[in-house]
Amino acid sequence: MTQADAAQAHAPLEPPRVPFWRAGWTKGALWQGALLAAFVWLAWSAVENTAENMRLRGVPTDFSFWWRPAGFDVNQTLIPFSSSSSTYGEAFLVGLLNTLLVAALGVVLATVLGFLIGVARLSTNWIVAKLAAVYVEVIRNTPLLLQLLFWYNAALKPLPNPRQSVALPGGIYLNNRGLFAPEPIFGPHFDWTLWALGAAVVVSLGLRAYGKRLRATTSRRPPMGRIALALMIGLPLLAFLAAGAPLAWSVPELRGFNFQGGVRIYPEFVALLLGLSLYTAAFIAEIVRAGVLSVSHGQSEAAAALGLPRGRALRLVVIPQAMRVVVPPLTNQYLNLTKNSSLAVFVGYPDLVQVFAGTVLNQTGAAVQVISITMAVYLVISLATSAAMNLYNRRMALAER
pLDDT digits (tens, 9 = 90+) for 360-391: 988 888 888 899 999 999 999 999 999 999 98
The answer as to whether 219 is a domain residue is yes
pLDDT at 401: 42
**Any domain includes 351:** no
The mean pLDDT of 147-165, rounded to a whole number, is 91
Q: Does residue 171 register a pLDDT over 70?
A: yes
Domain membership of residue 113 (yes or no) is: no
Pairing of strands 172-175, 166-168: antiparallel
pLDDT category, 276, cuts 50, 70, 90?
Answer: very high
Please give the radius of gyration of the chain, using alpha carbons only, rounded to the nearest integer: 31
Domain containing 212 equals 183-250
Inside any domain, residue 233:
yes
pLDDT digits (tens, 9 = 90+) for 283-294: 999 999 998 888
Q: Answer yes or no: are the C-beta atoms of 84 and 69 closer than 8 Å.
A: yes
What is d(CA 228, CA 49) in angstroms, rounded to the nearest whole number? 64
pLDDT digit string, tens, across residues 127-148: 999 999 999 999 999 999 999 9
Decide if 231 is inside a domain: yes
Q: How many CB atoms lie within 10 A of CB 92?
A: 21
Q: What is the mean pLDDT of residues 3-32?
A: 59
**pLDDT above 60 for 96:** yes
Mean pLDDT of 87-91: 92
- The residues that bridge with 87 in the sheet, in sequence order, are 69
Q: Give the closest residue to 102 by CA, choosing from 148, 160, 168.
A: 148
Count how many domains the chain has: 1
Q: In whole angstroms, what is the distance from residue 109 CA to residue 111 CA?
A: 5
pLDDT of residue 8 exceeding 60: no
Task: For residue 200, tell me if it sits in a domain.
Answer: yes
CB atoms inside a 10 Å sphere around CB 169: 5
Q: Is residue 92 within 8 Å of residue 98, measured between CB atoms?
A: no
Residue 207 has pLDDT above 70, yes or no: yes
CB < 8 Å & 24+ apart, contacts of 381-387: 381/100, 381/103, 381/338, 382/335, 382/338, 382/339, 385/331, 385/334, 385/335, 385/338, 386/331, 386/335
What is the edge-to-edge ordering of all strands in the sheet holding 263-265?
A: 166-168, 172-175, 178-181, 263-265
User: For 178, left (φ over 0), alpha (ψ -120 to 50), or beta?
Assistant: left
Cβ neighbours of residue 84 under 8 Å, at least 6 residues apart?
69, 71
Q: Does residue 399 surpass a pLDDT of 50? A: no
Give a yes or no: residue 205 inside a domain. yes
pLDDT of residue 6: 56
User: Exposed e or buried b for every residue in 307-319, given b needs 16+ CB within 10 A?
Assistant: ebeeeebbeebbb
89 neighbors 78 (Cβ within 8 angstroms) = no
Domain assignment of residue 240, yes or no: yes
φ/ψ of 98, rounded to 5, equals -65, -40
Residue 262 near residue 174, CB atoms below 8 Å: no
The per-residue pLDDT for 60 is: 75
Tell me which range, 9-18, 71-80, 95-104, is most confidently predicted by mean pLDDT: 95-104
